[in-house]
Each structure stands twice: as structure tokens, then as C-alpha cells.
Amino acid sequence: MKTKGLALSVLLFLSMSVFAQESGKKFGFELNSGISVATKKIDDASLNTGMGFEGILHYRFMPHLGIYGGWGWNKFASDNSFAGSDVCFEETGYVLGLNFLHPIKDSKMSYYARAGALYNHIETENADGDIINDSKHGLGFQLAGGININLGSNWSLTPGIKFNSLSRETEYEGISRQLDYQYISARIGFAKNF
């Protein structure tokens, strides 16, 4: 856990971007959260509506293009699965990608599109919150888009939708399982530009 905190701190320090193009700010930090809906079962497990959050940093290196990176968490509960009843599947890890941001005419709004690589893992937890399986980290991808609303004083509201896809193979009680963790998430966030 300390390693994750240190990595997040380094990303926070190194990466940040701007959302309000007219401000000329190049760096920013965004926190977002929202509900998630699985687009696929995990092995044989049907997933309930989930939730998650992200902390991401941005750095704009061209007028409308920048990089973003950060850490995220998403959780789905399952009433009945290969791992037993009343379990949760949690995806945690890192994202790094490109962020395109473009103003909408002369308004205080912009639209954004993001594409990034994930380096995440999937933990399976029992009803007591104990980790009963860890898929280990692997590569996936994220696509996202939305609207950036300038609130003034270098603050923005960032509602949007994202899609995460992570496929990991793991062994559970001697049986190899393919965990395809895919979901669409409606997010709302706040960004501060520096």
C-alpha cells in the first residue's frame, strides 16, 4: 500500500493538466467518482451495479492535447459466483494516456476525449472483506469522454463517461479462471488547474 501511495504522489507531482484553455494553465488535478455497470460477466459471475473513483493528474503540452495519469478503484458485488456468495471484485491500479480538450465555441465549456493504458489488478474479497484472490497487475485500456465546465478561479466540473477493460488470468482453488473486467461508468468530477 505504501508503494501505491508513493507512486500516486510521484504521478501527482509529475503529471497535471489544464482544463480551462483560456487560462493558459498547463497543470491540473482531478478527482472523479460515479456508478459503474458491467458490460460482461466475470467468468460465471453476474455483477451488481458498482462504483468507483479516480485521482488523475494532467499536463497540457499542446493547445488541445496533453497527458494524464493517476490511480483508480472500482468495485462490483456479486451475489453468487465461482468464489462463493456475497463476494466483491475490486479493480485497482494506474492509468496513463492522452487527453484531448477543445473549447465549445465561445462558451465556458469544452469537450474532452481520453484514451489510456491501464496497469491494474483484480482482487476478489469475501463477505468479511478478506482478499481471497489477487490476479496480479496487467495491462488493459480506458476510453473516456465528457464535458468540462469552467466554474472560475481555475476550477472545473467534469461530468463524463468512461469504459475500462482489463483481462487477467488467475488461479482459484486450482482452477484457471479468465477474469474479463469490463464496465461503463458515469462519472462526475472536479478539477483544479495550476
Dump pLDDT digits (tens) for 59-70: 999 989 999 999
Residue-range domains of the chain with CATH: 2-193 (2.40.160.20)
Q: Can you give the pLDDT at residue 80?
A: 84
pLDDT in tens, 133-169: 999 999 999 999 999 999 999 999 999 999 999 999 9
Kindly give the parts of the chain with pLDDT less than 70: 1-23
Q: Can you give the pLDDT at residue 98?
A: 98
Residue 165 CA to chain centroid, in angstroms? Answer: 10
Instruction: Kindly report whether the global pTM for this prediction surpasses the value 0.85.
Output: no
Alpha-carbon gap, residue 101 to 19, rounded angstroms: 7
Alpha-carbon gap, residue 156 to 30, rounded angstroms: 9
Q: Can you give the pLDDT at residue 84?
A: 80
118 near 94, Cβ under 8 Å?
A: yes
99 near 114, Cβ under 8 Å?
A: yes
Q: Can you give the pLDDT at residue 8?
A: 46
Q: Can you give the pLDDT at residue 5?
A: 53
Q: Can you give the pLDDT at residue 1?
A: 47
Q: Can you give the pLDDT at residue 74?
A: 97
Q: Can you give the pLDDT at residue 4?
A: 52
Q: For residue 83, which of 166, 169, 177, 164 has the smallest C-alpha distance?
A: 177
